[in-house]
Amino acid sequence: MTLPGPRPITGSAAKLIYCLVPDDGTDKRLLRILRDHHVITRANSSACRAVSILRAATTRRGKLPEPQLARIVTVIVDQDQADTMLDFIYEHAKVGRPGGGMVMMASIALATPFLMPEGVPDETGE
């Protein structure tokens, strides 16, 4: 019995955009805008703790600063639209405001597009 060979992976050069934002709903609003206006389906939001990113780290000598709850949003975009999407994310996540967080971008080898099947309803709630 001969086993079938591996199926080829289709994909393209891509960039990974990281955005660290306050835990105030910014991540949900950003993901909704990316999905609705740019059909971005390769994105995620996770809880994390941030130190000295959202506010200045003040502490007593010999003590570590208190971490603050935050959200890290990761978005995979095609390489040719990466700079535009970085600017878009910076603007819509309001990273430039005091305590707004940060955004950065890194190269990845390739990413496979993910298309939602027809008729799958969007999640409900906030």
Exposed / middle / buried, residue 78 (Cβ in 10 Å: 0-12, 13-18, 19+): middle
pLDDT reading at 114 higher than 80: no
Contacts by 8-11, CB closer than 8 A, 24 or more apart: 9/110, 9/112, 10/112, 10/113, 11/110, 11/111, 11/112, 11/113
| pLDDT band (50, 70, 90) for residue 5 | low
pLDDT at 100: 87
pLDDT reading at 6 higher than 70: no
pLDDT reading at 65 higher than 80: no
This prediction has a pTM of: 0.74
Q: Which of 100, 105, 107, 106 is nearest to 50 (CA)?
A: 100
Q: What is the mean pLDDT of residues 44-52?
A: 86
At what angle are helices 82-92 and 26-38 packed, to 10 degrees?
Answer: 140
Q: What is the mean pLDDT of residues 19-44?
A: 90
pLDDT at 19: 94
pLDDT reading at 117 higher than 70: yes
